[in-house]
Amino acid sequence: MKLPGVPPALWSALREAAGTERIALVGGAVRDWMLHHQHLDPWRGLVDLDLVIEASARGGGSRDPEGSRGWVDTLSPSRPSPAWRLVERLSSRAAGGVTVRAARPHGQYGTVELELDVDVPAAEGGSPAPIRLLLDVASARGESYPVPAANPVVTFGALNDDLARRDLTINAMAIDLATGTLLDPHGGAADLEGRLLRFLHPQSLRDDPTRLVRAARYAARLGFALAPDSLDQAVETLAAWPWPWRPGDPPALAPAALGTRLRRELELLVEQENWRLALARLQDWGGLRMLDPALQEDQRWPRRLRWAERLRLPPLVALLAAARHPLPLAERLQLPHRHHKLLAQFLTLRRALRREPEDGGAPPAADVRGPDTPWTWCQRLEAPGLSPSAVALALACGLGPRRPLLRWLLRWRHLGPACSSQELIAAGVAPGPALGAALRRSRQERLERERF
């Protein structure tokens, strides 16, 4: 197999290092290579290079009694994983044009991130010039989900087990490096030809609802459609809500696929180039209900996120701002503290702009009543507990009055006193509280001359 950007020396070195253990290229590289070579799609570049190596009995595995799962073992920190054994053999090689520069093992999952220098054949008379490649080497694993949406129980397994745990059929293909054979137990090649995204089994979303977010990313990136049976699965699963946590339950009790893992998938979605289309597909399929029913019905998110992009706001925060209860949702997703704080400030400002009471009936913490002048708006928006980002988020969400918010954000807040403290002291103002009051009066006079 000729993969653009990958020297043939890499495949030879990996086959030799694997020895009798089966090793295969899996996932996105196989999918994109087939799209490029068989369906003439443009080459999208080498996003990732994922390899899976299967344990053997000699490597420490044990035969599954049913004979259907190959060599299996629980993941044990006291026993080197097949992936780590491969890296050790690769590192000990004296030749072959491949040099291991760094290896970062993740023992819990039997995986290794590998950084290699691979020689590229030079022109006649020249010297080989190495290129740097990043690989993810994983021990073949099987997964089971005793609790829907929780993290799976992982064991060493056979290559077919590893393919069976994937999200979509088009990502569940592999190329055996020893034979060059395509392994396609789930019909991924046919779905590539039909340009369809299909989940591997009827319980796929029950086990891991984040697979729907990944499907939306691929729909936007590849221009594929969700297969009818997979769309039915999405609609039925979301309606049944088979997970042991429901909206209104304590956010900290949400399983990983409705909490931190869901946040990570959404972050990947909004980071990709065509994220607007991906988010639209997720909403079309009902997937925003996993966040909040109000977001599933929200038709204003495209405008809100366009403004968020212009104002350099975190897109995920701008999306969540329209939720029915943004703060519990932020807690469930475990947003960074600064994003949680921004949402809290935004809600304070929103209550003030709408003149809504605080929880318990108290008046809003920030009062926006009174005469409308640049100075009074500066006093309101510069009150403790607010920030420029909160005002920007209010603008992105369409809150008003828009004109003073925008003018404060872009101009008024940057205007200081007309006179400096040195000038005021030279004019006879004593340092201390009197100087502070004089500076405030000077700024007020300057702002009152501003056009409202």
Beta bridge partners of 117: 99, 132
Burial annotation 8-35 (CB, 10 A radius, 16+ → b, else e): ebbbebbeebbeebbbbbbbbbbbbbbb
353 and 435 belong to one structural domain: no
CA–CA separation, 7 and 30 (whole Å): 16
pTM: 0.88
pLDDT recorded at residue 352: 92
CA–CA separation, 17 and 114 (whole Å): 14
Instruction: Give residue 361's Cα distance to chain centre.
Output: 38
Q: Which CATH number does the domain housing residue 165 bear? A: 3.30.460.10
Last residue of a domain, one of 235, 257, 290: 290
280 and 185 belong to one structural domain: no
Last residue of a domain, one of 290, 314, 331: 290
157 and 199 belong to one structural domain: no
Count helices and strands in the chain by DSSP H and E runs: 20, 13
317 and 446 belong to one structural domain: no
Kindly state whether residue 34 falls inside one of the protein's structural domains: yes
200 and 189 belong to one structural domain: no
Tens digit of each residue's pLDDT, the chain (452 residues):
788 888 888 999 999 999 999 999 999 999 999 999 888 888 888 767 999 999 764 444 433 333 333 333 444 445 678 899 999 999 887 557 888 999 998 877 788 999 999 988 776 556 667 889 999 999 999 999 999 999 999 888 999 999 999 999 999 999 999 999 999 999 999 999 999 999 999 999 999 999 999 999 999 999 999 999 999 999 999 999 999 999 999 999 999 999 999 999 999 999 998 999 999 999 999 999 999 999 999 999 999 999 999 999 999 999 999 999 999 999 999 999 999 999 999 999 999 998 876 655 555 555 555 578 999 999 999 999 899 999 999 999 999 899 999 999 999 999 998 888 888 888 888 899 888 888 889 899 999 888 87
Nearest to 333 by CA among 233, 153, 210: 210
pLDDT recorded at residue 438: 87
Other beta carbons within 10 angstroms of residue 413's beta carbon come to 15
171 and 66 belong to one structural domain: yes
Tokens 């205007």 sit on residue:
415
Nearest to 80 by CA among 60, 58, 57, 53: 60
Kindly state whether residue 449 falls inside one of the protein's structural domains: yes
For residue 426, the surrounding DSSP H or E stretch is: helix 421-426
pLDDT recorded at residue 225: 98
SS3 annotation, 210-231: HHHHHHHHHHHHHCCEECHHHH
Amino acid, single-letter form, for residue 446: R
354 and 261 belong to one structural domain: no
147 and 47 belong to one structural domain: yes
DSSP 287: G
246 and 318 belong to one structural domain: no
Hey, what are 88's tokens? 């050790």
Question: How many residues are given for the chain?
Answer: 452
Strands 111-120 and 182-183, how do they pair?
unpaired
Kindly state whether residue 61 falls inside one of the protein's structural domains: yes
Q: What is the DSSP string of 307-358?
A: HHHHTT--HHHHHHTTSSSHHHHHHHHT--HHHHHHHHHHHHHHHHHHTPPP
Other beta carbons within 10 angstroms of residue 423's beta carbon come to 13
pLDDT recorded at residue 332: 98
pLDDT recorded at residue 75: 44
58 and 164 belong to one structural domain: yes
32 and 143 belong to one structural domain: yes
Kindly state whether residue 321 falls inside one of the protein's structural domains: yes
Kindly state whether residue 402 falls inside one of the protein's structural domains: yes
Kindly state whether residue 322 falls inside one of the protein's structural domains: yes
DSSP E strands, 379-445: none
Kindly state whether residue 1 falls inside one of the protein's structural domains: no
Kindly state whether residue 39 falls inside one of the protein's structural domains: yes
Report the sign of the C-alpha dihedral through residues 246, 249, 251, 252, in that order: negative
Domain assignment of residue 282, given as a range: 195-290
pLDDT recorded at residue 63: 35
Residues 6 or more apart whose Cβ sits within 8 Å of residue 185: 160, 163, 164, 172
* Phi (first) and psi of residue 301, to 5 degrees: -65, -35
pLDDT recorded at residue 67: 32
Number of compact structural domains in the chain: 4
71 and 110 belong to one structural domain: yes
- Radius of gyration, alpha carbons of the chain: 29
